[in-house]
Structures are given as structure tokens and as C-alpha cells.
């Protein structure tokens, strides 16, 4: 998604599909997960420029698999199993 503005995922946000190589690009835009989301194992999420990804209070973002290294723009993030 490109351009200014905000997109709110009000239900069932899906980033990628398990077992497939996918990529999403946010360029100058805000994406808000306000419900339940899934970020699959082979997906790349790139945030460009002033883009923002927000998980609203009370929303969930399930990252599959649970222990994974993720690249968001130039920042790497690591989630570990509880």
C-alpha cells in the first residue's frame, strides 16, 4: 500500500500464507491491526519512509512460527517462544 493515509484491518489481518513466499510494502502509510492478525513464516513486511504498523490495544498478532527472525525495513526483530 502506498500513499498517505491510514488503513485499519478491522478483522482477520493476514500477512502472507504459510509455505509461500510473500511480501507486503507499506510506503508512507499507516496500517493498524485492530483485531486478530497472522504473520506467516515466509512473509516479508517492508516499511518505507514514514510508514507505521500498529497493533491496537487488545488486538493480537500471531507470528508463525513463534520463534522467528523478522525484517521490517532496515530493522530486524526477533520473537521467541514463551
Q: Are 55 and 77 in contact (CB under 8 A)?
A: no
Q: Where are the beta strands (DSSP E) in the chain?
A: 6-9, 13-15, 22-27, 30-33, 36-39, 43-48, 52-55, 60-63, 68-72, 75-79
In sequence order, the 6+-apart residues with CB closer than 8 A to the CB of 3 are: 27, 28, 29
How far is 82 from 74, CA to CA, in rounded Å? 26
* pLDDT on residue 20: 73
What are the pLDDT digits (tens) for 3-38? 889 999 988 888 877 777 777 888 888 889 999 988
* pLDDT on residue 80: 44
Amino acid at each position: 500500500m502506498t500513499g498517505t493515509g491510514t488503513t485499519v484491518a478491522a478483522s482477520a489481518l493476514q500477512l502472507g500464507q504459510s509455505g509461500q513466499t510473500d511480501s507486503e510494502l507499506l510506503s508512507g502509510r499507516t496500517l493498524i491491526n485492530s483485531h486478530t492478525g497472522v504473520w506467516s513464516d515466509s512473509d516479508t513486511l517492508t516499511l518505507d519512509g514514514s510508514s507505521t504498523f500498529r497493533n491496537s490495544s487488545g488486538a493480537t498478532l500471531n507470528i508463525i512460527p513463534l520463534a522467528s527472525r523478522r525484517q521490517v525495513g532496515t530493522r530486524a526483530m526477533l520473537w521467541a517462544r514463551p
